[in-house]
Chains A and B, each alone.
Chain A
Amino acid sequence: MVKQHRPPRPLVRNAVRAFAVGGLVCDLGQWIQSLYMRWGGFDREAAANPTAATLVFAAVLLTGLGVYDRFAQWAGAGLAVPVTGFANAMSASAIEARSEGLVLGVGANMFKMAGPVIVFGVVAAFFVALIRAVLPRLIG
């Protein structure tokens, strides 16, 4: 019964869009990274950091202009999974909460959507690293 009333999701269409848009965002990142490597004196590994910051900046700007969310609706996970989606979640929450004040609004709500990712990422990293650090000693 319940199943019948769920609207069918356009699975293939969503999948193709997510793959294509996500791939394009990563290629954009690759291009930015190559610029940092050529002109910024970063080596390949270190260049990932300013690249992330640049993508974050672009995503926050596009969120503020109201553009990101319109594209994100179309692209689904293709714009949610890259670091730009993380930045979009944070800036959208921050902008939304501005009317409630800087501290209790912006400060308190910025991580409303992005918080779970940080909390679970940190807790998972803690246990994974703990196991990796302790296991060799136990096995000897």
Chain B
Amino acid sequence: MIYVWAFVVGGLICLVGQLLMDVGRLTPAHAMTVLVVSGAILDGLNLYDPLIRLAGAGATVPITSFGHALTHGALMEARQHGIVGVITGIFEVTSAGISSAIVFSFLAALLFKPKG
């Protein structure tokens, strides 16, 4: 059942991205930015975690989960250390996606030649 929800929710988030570009006529960069900010706001409203419980990777794989994780880390730290935590906690949860993307992209730049 989780695979059905992951497909539907993940597909719908991508569909929103496509509509932002096609109907909203945003550039891909603008569309991704809108999605990330939406994820951050949804987490602030406590709406993103229920979505993850429902759809699993359908909610954690799209870029909206990046915004969710940023807010989540900041809120976690803020609960423990007060207002300062809002700054110190932002990258606490999201490190996996970013650090792996940096390391692998760097290695790829060493290994691969640009393709036409």
Contact = CB atoms under 8 A, between A and B. Distances in A.
A81 B14 contact: yes
Given A20-B11, A116-B29, A131 B101 contact: no
Interface in B61-98: 61-67, 70-71, 73-75, 78, 82-83, 85-87, 89-90, 96-98
Contacts of A120: 33, 36-37
A113 B22 CA distance: 19
Contacts of B31: 77, 80
B112 A22 contact: no
Report which residue of A14, A50, A56, A85 has the largest number of chain B beta carbons within 10 angstroms of its beta carbon: A56
Nearest to B19: A15
B60 to A, nearest CB: 4
Interface residues of B, number: 77
Interface in B1-42: 2-3, 6-15, 17-23, 28-33, 35-37, 39-41
Nearest to B61: A29
Interface string A4-29: 00000101001101111111111101
Majority SS of interface residues in chain B? helix
Contact of B105 (A83, A90, A133): A90
Interface residues of A, number: 79
Contact of B17 (A27, A33, A80): A80
B110 to A, nearest CB: 8
A129 B61 contact: no
A104 to B, nearest CB: 13
15 contacts: A18-B14, A22-B11, A23-B6, A26-B57, A26-B61, A44-B56, A49-B96, A56-B97, A85-B32, A95-B108, A106-B106, A110-B105, A120-B33, A121-B39, A133-B83
